[in-house]
A = this chain, B = another copy of it.
Amino acid sequence: MSARTVVNLRPQDVPIRTPDLSNLDFSNCPVRDLISQIGGKWSTLLLEALAQQPYRFGELRRLVPDISQRMLTQTLRDLQRDGYIAREVFPTKPPSVEYRMTDLGRSLYGPLAQLLNWAEDNHEAVRAARARFDQSLG
């Protein structure tokens, strides 16, 4: 089975989530709590890079040229805090720091990659929908 086939689920295969919307505790909503972090501007890009292999700070910076130093540091720290990636310092001179995915991160990357694949596959459809919508407003 190719995991990719999941993208083409028939409707009856789509998992039905029936959370009790009327009783949601919004201060502790798991979905929002995790998704809001994943949805950050640089999170998925860094998770994609580190899903392929470990990288050092400077390597990541070169891989993603338009990320600022500040956001690279901050996003990596947030991903580490959530347990998706691990940070290892090698006491060389000058010091080098390597980031790698954890088991939890790889576990997340399964369903996340499905969604990213969907986004690539359907980007044109969404862009077309946006164009129609904007057009209909004159």
> A58 — which chain B residues lie within 8 A by C-beta?
none
Chain B residues with CB below 8 A from A7, complex form: 110-111
This chain: copies in complex: 2
A68 near B: Cβ within 8 Å? no
Asked if A13 contacts B3 (CB within 8 A), the reply is yes
Tell me whether A15 and B45 are in contact (CB under 8 A). no
Known contacts A35-B115, A116-B31, A119-B31: does B110 contact A9 (CB below 8 Å)? yes
**B-contacting residues, A21-48, CB 8 Å:** 21-22, 24, 26, 30-36, 38-41, 44-45, 48
Pairs of residues from A and B, 3 with the lowest C-beta to C-beta distance, nearest first: A39-B39, A83-B129, A30-B123
23 A-B contact pairs sorted by A residue (CB < 8 Å): A3-B9, A3-B15, A4-B15, A6-B6, A6-B111, A7-B111, A18-B52, A24-B45, A26-B66, A31-B45, A31-B116, A31-B119, A34-B119, A34-B122, A36-B39, A38-B115, A39-B40, A80-B133, A83-B126, A104-B125, A107-B122, A111-B118, A112-B118
